[in-house]
């Protein structure tokens, strides 16, 4: 299995809803990432998990809450979002967070989120 999967593909939610985005990989990768991408802009890093521990939080508002239950799964819990949070949310994984081996990131297809 050489892919990163994300569910759901599309999500529409109100500002008072609570929802979760899910990401899964079975490549044995030990680093997992969440990115936010607005239209016609590059991906912006939100969070990095290395060996299931949060290693980077790019000053993301607390209405976004990441969780890494195990080495294959990464969740992003959403609560009280704003319309400007509407974007494509991308998950990625890479093999070795701190080593010297080839370390390209594999991206999932993304979740298109719309906040009403």
Query: Interface residues with other proteins (CB under 8 A)?
Result: 31, 33, 41-45, 48, 50, 55-56, 90, 94, 97-98, 102-110
For residue 80, whether the previous peptide bond is cis, meaning omega lies within 30 degrees of 0, is no
Q: CB of 67: closest distance to other proteins in angstroms?
A: 18
Q: CB of 74: closest distance to other proteins in angstroms?
A: 14
User: 75 with 91: CB under 8 angstroms?
Assistant: no
Residue with smaller CB distance to other proteins, 9 or 16? 9
Q: Which pairs count as long-range contacts for 36-44, CB under 8 Å and 24+ apart, including other chains?
A: 36/87, 36/88, 36/89, 36/90, 37/87, 37/88, 37/89, 37/90, 37/110, 38/87, 38/88, 43/90
Q: CB of 16: closest distance to other proteins in angstroms?
A: 29
Q: CB of 73: closest distance to other proteins in angstroms?
A: 18
Residue with smaller CB distance to other proteins, 64 or 89? 89
Residue with smaller CB distance to other proteins, 34 or 64? 34
Residue with smaller CB distance to other proteins, 71 or 109? 109
């Amino acid at each position: 299995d050489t892919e990163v999967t994300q569910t759901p593909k599309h999500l529409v939610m109100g500002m008072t809803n609570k929802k979760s985005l899910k990401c899964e990989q079975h490549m044995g990768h030990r680093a997992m990432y969440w990115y936010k991408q607005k239209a016609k802009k590059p991906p912006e890093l939100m969070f990095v998990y290395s060996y299931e521990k949060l290693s980077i939080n790019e000053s993301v508002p607390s209405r976004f809450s990441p969780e890494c239950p195990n080495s294959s799964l990464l969740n992003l819990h959403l609560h009280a979002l704003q319309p400007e949070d509407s974007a494509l949310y991308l998950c990625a994984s890479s093999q070795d967070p701190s080593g010297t081996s080839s370390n390209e990131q594999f991206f999932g297809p993304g979740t298109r989120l719309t906040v009403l």
